Amino acid sequence: MKKFMGVAAVGALLIALAGCAGGSAGGGDEAGGGGDELVVGFSQVGAESGWRTANTISIQDAFTDAGYELKFSDAQGKQENQIKAIRSFIQQQVDVIAFSPVVESGWDTVLKEAKDAGIPVVLTDRSVDSEDDSLYESFLGSDFIAEGEKAGEWVATEFADADKVTIVELQGTTGAAPANDRAEGLRNVIGDDAKFEIVASQTGDFTRAGGKQVMEAFLKSNPDIDLVYAHNDDMGLGAIEAIEAAGMTPGTDIKIVTVDAVKDGMTALSEGKINLIVECSPLLGPQLVEIAEKVAAGEEVEKRIVTEETTFTQEEATAALPDRQY
Ligand code: GZL
């Protein structure tokens, strides 16, 4: 921020001097008045899912379009890599640090280092469980508990006439906010109704391979599964492969509800292999640029910015697919 503010001041001075010199740079010329480039360090979780790929593209494109420098680091799913990247951004004295915390806990020390260095931090996509919310300026992302509750409301309606519903849950990355909160959200809605029994719940780490592997094990130990609740489309798509390999029809013999609404998930939904998808938008880039500009300029920003999202049925997915950006 100091760096960005300093550049802004120098830029203003150069513009003033150019004006005083009667446009000695040839009038109308960009010389001395070029844009003050914002430099943002961004630590991304990894590349584990279609959602993450779309999120990375959205952020990189938004900073390119704005003409700002984005120092991008892929943590390959490891918290220690994100902590290293944040420390590197501090050393480089970037104007703003932004990141999607792979897990909720363990960030206070490095966030205090950024605060002591006078570099504002913005959380995107996932949040942290720190008690001290002065360690970050804003959290831009979905309400994962609400996403789980939307899934729960569909389950309650879909199985309204059933006496007993056997559920297996493919959880996201252990310790990640979306995994914790999507699990909580579903249980907020169906947890008190004894007819719903979650007989198995295990992480598939938000990956297609992980979802397939865990679902194969679930099928071996649970002969009468009625529903799969997958915390993201990719694990749901892996579950589809396992269900079909076991000679059953996904979406019919075993119903599936997932979260994200990426193209591959929406395609499976339109084919009836998934029954409902709760949307979680990865298109956070433009809003992140706006927030970074404001915090770099020392302006107030909202502490919590929730992304707008919906749900898709089979018919809605079929209609939405042609225009889907990701
Ligand atoms: C949600 C995001 C999750 C997606 C997964 O905002 O953090 O991580 O639901 C992704 O697809 O891997």
- pLDDT tens-place string over residues 10-56: 554 554 444 433 333 333 333 333 346 899 999 999 999 999 999 99
Q: Percentage of the chain with pLDDT > 70? A: 89
Q: Which residues contact 92 (CB under 8 A, 6 or more apart)?
A: 39, 41, 71
Condensed to tens digits (0 to 9), the pLDDT of residues 191-246 reads 999 999 999 999 999 999 999 999 999 999 998 999 999 999 999 999 999 999 99
Which CATH fold would you assign to the domain 144-280? Rossmann fold (3.40.50)
Which part of the chain has CATH 3.40.50.2300?
5-142+282-308, 144-280
Number of neighbours of residue 244 by Cβ within 10 angstroms: 12
Mutate to test the pocket of ligand 1, among 43, 44, 45, 49 (most ligand atoms within 8 A of CB): 49
Mutate to test the pocket of ligand 1, among 123, 180, 260, 305 (most ligand atoms within 8 A of CB): 260
Q: Which residues contact 53 (CB under 8 A, 6 or more apart)?
A: 47, 326
Stated pTM of the model: 0.89
Condensed to tens digits (0 to 9), the pLDDT of residues 88-104 reads 999 999 999 999 999 99
Instruction: Give the distance (Å) from ligand 1 centre to CA of residue 286.
Output: 18
Number of neighbours of residue 79 by Cβ within 10 angstroms: 18
Taking the C-alpha atoms of residue 213 and residue 19, their distance in angstroms, rounded to an integer, is 67
Condensed to tens digits (0 to 9), the pLDDT of residues 206-216 reads 999 999 999 99
Which CATH fold would you assign to the domain 5-142+282-308? Rossmann fold (3.40.50)
Torsion of CA 257, 262, 267, 270, to 10 degrees: 50
Instruction: Give the distance (Å) from ligand 1 centre to CA of residue 49.
Output: 7
Which atom of ligand 1 is closest in space to residue 50's alpha carbon? 11
